[in-house]
Amino acid sequence: MEVLISRRKQIDPIILEACKQFDARIFVETIKGEFSNFPDSRYNQKRVVYPIWYINLVILCGFFCGCNTIEEIAEYALLQQSWFKELLNKSYPPPSYSTLWWFLVRTQPEALKQYFVKWFVKIPNQLKDQLLALDPRLSSLQK
């Protein structure tokens, strides 16, 4: 997983070290599998640029790399555009702040929480251990 290099803050060295061992392909496959049928509240499905799982992937990657705001996640997506393209073997334009904001505003928080918990419980233990190393706040989901 690539790490956000922000003009505003430094990334924790523990996260940098954990990212070296992280298996991003398994991470992507678990996101695709679990979030493909996520309730999509976006209007006019014919004009939607991003699959619902991709937006969740960008948000989760940003979160695990230290992003705390929608603006930071949008910046992360822009900075890591080539990494996402290489990882997915497909190119999506980086989602903008407004795309991420509208997605999060229209998404029911409880539905998002349920999908995150359901996803985290189902991921392979090796990946789970890697994610816990990236963000110890997730250890509460282990219970």
> Does residue 112 sit within a domain?
yes
- Residue 6's pLDDT is 47
For residue 83, being part of any structural domain is answered with yes
Domain that holds residue 133: 13-39+49-137
Cα 108 from chain centroid (whole Å)? 17
Give domain status of residue 1, yes or no: no
Residue 57 lies in a domain: yes
Assigned domain for 106 exists: yes
Half-sphere exposure of 44 (CA within 13 A, CB side): 3
Longest dimension (CA), the chain: 43
Task: Tell me, yes or no, if the pTM score tops 0.85.
Answer: no
DSSP string covering the chain, please? ------SS-PPPHHHHHHHHT--HHHHHHHHHHHHTTS----S-GGG--S-HHHHHHHHHHHHHTT--SHHHHHHHHHHTHHHHHHHHTS--PPPPHHHHHHHHHHS-HHHHHHHHHHHHHHS-HHHHHHHHHH-GGGGGGG-
- 3 falls within a domain: no
Residue 5 lies in a domain: no
92-112 pLDDT tens trace: 999 999 999 999 998 888 888
Residue 16: what pLDDT?
53
Instruction: Write out residues in the chain with pLDDT < 50, as ranges.
Output: 2-6, 134-143
Domain count of the fold of the chain: 1
Residue indicated by tokens 């250890």: 139
pLDDT tens profile 49-60? 888 899 999 998
Which pLDDT score, from 0 to 100, does residue 70 have?
94
CA 47 to chain centre: 22
Q: Is residue 28 part of a domain?
A: yes
